[in-house]
Amino acid sequence: MKDNYLTHSRGFLSWALTLDHKRIGLMYLVAVLSSFLVAGVMALMIRAEHLAPGAELVDADTYNRLMTLHGAIMVFLFIIPSIPGALGNFVLPIMLGAKDVAFPRLNLASFYLWIIGALIAVGSIAAGGVDGGWTFYTPYSLQDGRVGVIGMTMGVFILGFSSIFTGLNFVVTIHRLRPPGMTWFRMPLFLWGIYATALLQILATPVIGITMLLLIAERVLGIGIFDPALGGDPVLFQHFFWFYSHPAVYIMILPGLAIISELIATFSHKHIFGYSFIAFSSVAIAVFSFLVWGHHMFTSGMSPLAAMIFSALTYSVSIPTAVKIFNWLATMYKGSISFQTPMLYALAFIFLFTIGGLTGIFLGSLSTDVHLHDTYFVVAHFHYVMMGGTVIAMLGGLHYWWPKMTGRMYSEFWGIGCLLVFVGFNLTFFSQFLLGSLGMPRRYHTYAAEYQPIHMTSSIGSFILAAGLFVTLFYLVHSLFKGKLAPANPWGGATLEWHCSSPPPHDNFSVAPTVGDPYDYSDLSYDPQTGGWISKPGAHA
Amino acid sequence: MNRLWDSLFGSAGQLPPKLSTTAAEVDWLYDYIYWWCVFFFVLIVAVMGYFMWRYRRRPGHGAQPSPSHHLGIELVWSVIPTILIIPIFYWGFTGYMDLHQAPADCVKVEAEASQWQWKFRYANGATMGNKQSEDSPYFGLHVAPGRNVQIILSSNDVLHSFYIPNFRVKQDVVPGRYTSVWFNAPFVDPASPDFEAWPPGAPTEFETKNGKYKVNAHRLFCTEYCGTSHSTMDSWVFVHESQEKLEEALQGGQRPLGQGHAGRGRRRAPTKNCASCHAKHSRRSRPPCSGASRRTGASRSPGSRTAPQVQVTVGREYVLQSIRDPGSQLALQDLSNPGNPWANNMQKGLYPTLENEVYRGDEEKFKGKNGLDAIVAFIQSLNQKRDGE
């Protein structure tokens, strides 16, 4: 094998102190997938508990901790950093045609901040008794002198800085390190999505820091801010929390949308439809996402005027999201569609994300939200968007760039793990829509007997889903040792990362790449000898 | 299975039966949204499926040229969803206002939340817990059919949320402020063919020592996480056959004026030094702490002798107010009685207020409305005894 970034240097320190964006991306990948595994096992314990209405497996306090840890780890340690930190770090500079990100040291610092933030956040939940779910609303989270919530916000803030560093790096890299010919509108749409995400990371995260400072001021100085016993307002905490956490929802989903644009175009072998609409819809989503946080609070006692305004603004986000889906479908039109594993994930994404998005309309509408708020309907909705959306897109992206990252091909046959994931996911979470519309409240350790059949269906679905994910883990790891060597361009992608070898050399490109239209597939043809695509038309025909 | 089939067709199978007057409006909008969602979902998945089959990669088939952008089509699929959204938003908002604005003629019931129980307090002062206990068969939220009922919500500790799925109402209960929900629920005879129940086995009778009474029962949940036993902080709403039946059912057994509360108040009163000034019944030298229910009163702002006279509804609020600030509302007959030396002092503002005296050094015992409520209930029970004599 040629010298590449994996073999360029050896030893623990060559990884721990690396400034190579590809290695940092891989370290992020291992870190976030470990978090996914841990929080996923917790989810399975939760679902196992819900096989029957009573308290069977764990007691109430344990359940509440599990539920909190599942949410907090999934959101803050896994989904938020997953695509930007792992895939974005690896792919973004190569896609752009750059040798690295603008600030490689900041990039490494971001990884270590993630580690520190993870330790503080999880440690304070485990030790400080935060059990109110990942939203840790006051005054419950401050009751009886609990300080876990401060540790938790501190952890989230540090994790936030980790993503600010990543975001800042990406913004500067995209502005400053584009090679000649890489104009804004020749950038692959993945970069547009990551760029919009980075702006959100930089602008929204400071608010969680302000919240933490206010919590500390309240605890230490006794100033009434959120605690009604001191004259504070608990609803104010919700405003602060969601002012950060709603944009955070789009920090999670925008990179997912961005990956899907790449997958649909490549596997349809067709120029993306409506490039500029997709690009600007990412930016529009980022901007609108700052203005809709109140839709988490329609039953909180907020004034009806505020509720009305937030409801109207919420719908403004739905339009650019719908536009993306229509554009992807139009891209498939008259294409040449292959159903390799990444594309299966992309198609599953469209299916699941459409359900996730449409059910959001029930929740954005005020009177129906009153019934559905804080029930399993909301749980199902955000799992369809976060897991059916972001995680499925991430898995699609992981399969797409796996040969590039590892230099190995996985077995396409085992890609049917995707089918298990798809079926299991729908069984798990579609049933939760029904639970919620029938009035089953969320965050319940035990539940009323009439909900048992649906709960059981959901639990069985989750075991199928888990089986699918373990199959995926197994064949991906297996490919590292037994997989075929990957060609430079196994899927026929036209973006720049497919121009360099798999895995890429230490400095990405031995020869400066020529920048063209990232979705022009006309001069690519399949080469059966290498199993990849090459860019001389008709050379092997 | 039947239900599963029904659930394909919107609210009929997906939501509990609509058992309050406002539920129908919510369900109508739910269905409206549902059918648009079904339309777009089927459209998207059908187009996707068709393209997957029609343009699958196969020998002899390659991508065919087609435009990669088209402004007109982009505008069409941006503008049409925008237009479709506007009525959904509008009906959602008007429906929300209907849920939010209680009619003026509501019967009011207080629901006080604390970890992990509800306490329902009725206009006549009776209180009930959320669960059946060994001490008392009386529990739950009892309402008359066809009446507008407003629930005034308060919390003693953390956030809770008051949710009745069958009525489609939900409202967070926020410590330090009052929130409310209202509903109007019909009664349908459980034997009649029109009777619908959710959950399927919901009780249809409520048994008291006066007999068995027909009810329509609806689940009541806490839907804001509030700690260890959040998931068992539930109860039932019982809609009785009629106002008369409701009163009859609860007659005599409903611990009028919160006897449990009053007993606690009686035990606590000595620790508050009430008796250093007050007697249970009026004596010349001491201000009475009972008998207030008979009087109409004058309201006076502290320090002003010429405050306007107002009619004061004497009740729980009056007693509470008189503990907090005894001079704020004084009865005319007391003021005009020269044999009442304390009345003079009251007018001069020489009296302890809750804020400046009782709370001091004793904050923990009075903290929460519980402590104060017990004292109020105790004083009211004195009134009742006297009235009964």
Burial class (CB in 10 A: 0-12, 13-18, 19+), B352: middle
Q: In what order do the strands lie in the sheet with B149-155?
A: B127-129, B117-121, B107-114, B149-155, B179-183
Distance CA A149, CA A135 (A): 10
Instruction: Examine the predicted complex and report whether its ipTM is higher than 0.90.
Output: yes
**Which of A68, A361, A447, A526 has the highest number of chain B CBs within 10 A, making it the mutation to test binding with B?**
A361
Distance CA B49, CA A388 (A): 18
Q: Do B93 and A354 touch (CB under 8 A)?
A: no
| Residue in A335, A359, A366 nearest the CB of B92 | A366
Residues in chain A, total = 541
**Which of B2, B160, B230, B237 has the highest number of chain A CBs within 10 A, making it the mutation to test binding with A?**
B230
Are A465 and A425 in contact by the 8 Å Cβ rule? The answer is yes
* Tokens linked to A268: 């349809």
- DSSP category for residue B100: H
Average pLDDT in the A508-536 region?
A: 85
Q: Which of A9, A29, A11, A12 is nearest to A20 (CA)?
A: A9
| Residue in A275, A304, A365 nearest the CB of B100 | A304
Are A3 and A506 in contact by the 8 Å Cβ rule? The answer is yes
Report chain A residues whose CB lies below 8 A from the CB of B34. 362
Distance CA A421, CA A245 (A): 27
Q: Do B14 and A60 touch (CB under 8 A)?
A: no
CA-based nearest distance A302→chain B, Å: 10
**Which of A142, A296, A323, A371 has the highest number of chain B CBs within 10 A, making it the mutation to test binding with B?**
A371
Q: Which helix (H) or strand (E) holds B235?
A: strand B235-240
| Residue in A275, A311, A335 nearest the CB of B55 | A335
Among A16-25, A228-237, A403-412, B121-130, the least confident range: B121-130
Q: Indicate the pTM of the whole model.
A: 0.84
Q: Which residue of B has its CA nearest to A346?
A: B48
Are B363 and B340 in contact by the 8 Å Cβ rule? The answer is no
Q: Which residue of A has its CA nearest to B50?
A: A333
Q: Which residue has the tokens 């996730």?
A: A356
Distance CA A351, CA A345 (A): 10
Q: What angle do CA B49, B55, B59 make, to 5 degrees?
A: 135
Q: Do B168 and A364 touch (CB under 8 A)?
A: no
Higher pLDDT pick, A455 / B293: A455
* Residues in contact with A12: Cβ distance below 8 Å, sequence separation at least 6, in sequence order: none
Distance CA B69, CA A130 (A): 51
* pLDDT for residue A305 is more than 90: yes
Distance CA A415, CA A76 (A): 28
Q: Do A337 and B51 touch (CB under 8 A)?
A: yes
Q: Which residue of B has its CA nearest to A369?
A: B92
Neighbours of A514 (CB within 10 A): 12
Report chain B residues whose CB lies below 8 A from the CB of A446. 231-232
Question: Is the sign of the CA dihedral A451, A452, A457, A462 positive or negative?
Answer: positive
CA-based nearest distance A123→chain B, Å: 20
Report which residue type is found at A397: G
Distance CA A62, CA A60 (A): 5
How remote is the C-alpha of A462 from its chain's centroid?
19
Burial class (CB in 10 A: 0-12, 13-18, 19+), A473: middle
Are B155 and B114 in contact by the 8 Å Cβ rule? The answer is yes
CA-based nearest distance A314→chain B, Å: 10
| Residue in A326, A441, A449 nearest the CB of B77 | A326
HEC per residue, A74-126? HHHHHHHHHHHHHHHHHHHHHHHCCCCCCCHHHHHHHHHHHHHHHHHHHHHHH
Distance CA A282, CA A284 (A): 5
How many beta-carbon contacts under 8 Å exist across A and B?
A: 257
Distance CA B229, CA B240 (A): 29
Instruction: Please give the pLDDT value at position A221.
Output: 85
Strands of A258-318, DSSP E? none
Average pLDDT in the A79-91 region?
A: 94
Average pLDDT in the A473-499 region?
A: 92
* Tokens linked to A307: 């509720």
| Residue in A233, A273, A433 nearest the CB of B68 | A273
Report chain B residues whose CB lies below 8 A from the CB of A327. 74
Distance CA A142, CA A146 (A): 5
Distance CA B314, CA B308 (A): 17
Q: Do A269 and B47 touch (CB under 8 A)?
A: no
CA-based nearest distance A35→chain B, Å: 25
- Among residues 224-263 of chain B, which lie with CB inside 8 Å of chain A? 224-232, 234
> How many Cα atoms are found within 13 Å in the side-chain-facing hemisphere of A138?
35
Q: Which residue has the tokens 């440690």?
A: A123
Residue B81 touches partner A, C-beta closer than 8 Å: yes
> How many Cα atoms are found within 13 Å in the side-chain-facing hemisphere of A395?
30
- Among residues 151-180 of chain B, which lie with CB inside 8 Å of chain A? 157-159, 161, 163, 165-166, 168-172, 174-177, 179
| Residue in B52, B200, B221 nearest the CB of A347 | B52
Distance CA A159, CA A152 (A): 10
Q: Which residue has the tokens 């809750």?
A: B354
Q: Which of B172, B160, B114 is nearest to A301 (CA)?
A: B172
Distance CA A169, CA A161 (A): 12
Report which residue type is found at A425: F
Q: Which of B14, B12, B228 is nearest to A445 (CA)?
A: B228
Q: Do B55 and A64 touch (CB under 8 A)?
A: no
Neighbours of A207 (CB within 10 A): 22
Report chain A residues whose CB lies below 8 A from the CB of B198. 438-439, 450
Task: For chain B, state the CA radius of gyration.
Answer: 29
CA-based nearest distance A6→chain B, Å: 34
Instruction: Please give the pLDDT value at position B318.
Output: 72
Report chain A residues whose CB lies below 8 A from the CB of B201. 449-450
Q: Which of A368, A227, A233 is nearest to A295 (CA)?
A: A368
Mean pLDDT score across all residues of chain A: 91
Q: Which of A415, A269, A424, A254 is nearest to A352 (CA)?
A: A424
Distance CA B128, CA B121 (A): 7
How remote is the C-alpha of B112 from its chain's centroid?
8
**Tens of each residue's pLDDT in chain B, 389 residues:** 567 788 888 888 899 999 999 999 999 999 999 999 999 999 999 999 999 999 999 998 888 989 888 999 999 999 999 999 999 999 999 999 999 899 989 998 999 999 889 999 887 777 888 888 776 778 899 999 999 999 999 998 899 999 999 999 999 999 888 899 999 999 999 999 989 888 988 999 998 888 889 999 999 999 999 988 999 999 999 999 999 988 888 776 555 444 455 666 666 666 666 666 666 655 444 555 544 444 444 444 444 445 556 666 666 667 777 776 776 776 665 666 655 666 666 666 666 665 544 444 444 444 444 567 677 777 777 766 554 43
| Residue in A228, A234, A319 nearest the CB of B81 | A319
| Residue in A140, A298, A434 nearest the CB of B225 | A140
Pairing status of strand B107-114 against strand A532-534: unpaired
Q: Which residue of A has its CA nearest to B39?
A: A358
Residue range A401-440, pLDDT digits in tens: 999 999 999 998 888 889 999 999 999 999 999 999 999 9
Q: Which residue of A has its CA nearest to B36?
A: A358
Report chain A residues whose CB lies below 8 A from the CB of B68. 271-275, 519
| Residue in B7, B33, B91 nearest the CB of A362 | B33
Q: Which helix (H) or strand (E) holds B310?
A: none
Average pLDDT in the A364-379 region?
A: 95
pLDDT grade for A4, boundaries at 50, 70 and 90: confident
Distance CA B37, CA A154 (A): 40
* pLDDT for residue A320 is more than 70: yes
Pairing status of strand B235-240 against strand B141-143: parallel
**Region of residue A380 (left: phi > 0; alpha: psi -120 to 50; beta: else):** alpha
* pLDDT for residue A537 is more than 60: no
Q: Which residues pair with B221 in a beta bridge?
A: B163
Neighbours of A508 (CB within 10 A): 23
Report chain B residues whose CB lies below 8 A from the CB of A234. 159, 174-176
Q: Do A137 and B225 touch (CB under 8 A)?
A: yes
Report chain B residues whose CB lies below 8 A from the CB of A306. none
* Tokens linked to A489: 């361009």
Neighbours of B64 (CB within 10 A): 11
Distance CA A471, CA A481 (A): 16
| Residue in B48, B219, B224 nearest the CB of A347 | B48
CA-based nearest distance A29→chain B, Å: 31
| Residue in A339, A351, A367 nearest the CB of B96 | A367
Q: Which helix (H) or strand (E) holds B383?
A: helix B368-388
Instruction: Please give the pLDDT value at position A530.
Output: 85
Strands of B88-204, DSSP E? 107-114, 117-121, 127-129, 141-143, 149-155, 160-164, 169-173, 179-183
- Among residues 192-221 of chain B, which lie with CB inside 8 Å of chain A? 198-201, 219, 221
Report which residue type is found at A233: D
- Among residues 279-318 of chain B, which lie with CB inside 8 Å of chain A? none
Instruction: Please give the pLDDT value at position A50.
Output: 95
Higher pLDDT pick, B323 / A285: A285
Distance CA A61, CA A54 (A): 14
Higher pLDDT pick, B370 / A368: A368
Distance CA B198, CA B201 (A): 7
Question: Is the sign of the CA dihedral B18, B20, B21, B22 positive or negative?
Answer: negative
**Which of A313, A319, A368, A445 has the highest number of chain B CBs within 10 A, making it the mutation to test binding with B?**
A368
pLDDT grade for A442, boundaries at 50, 70 and 90: very high
* Tokens linked to B116: 């992990």
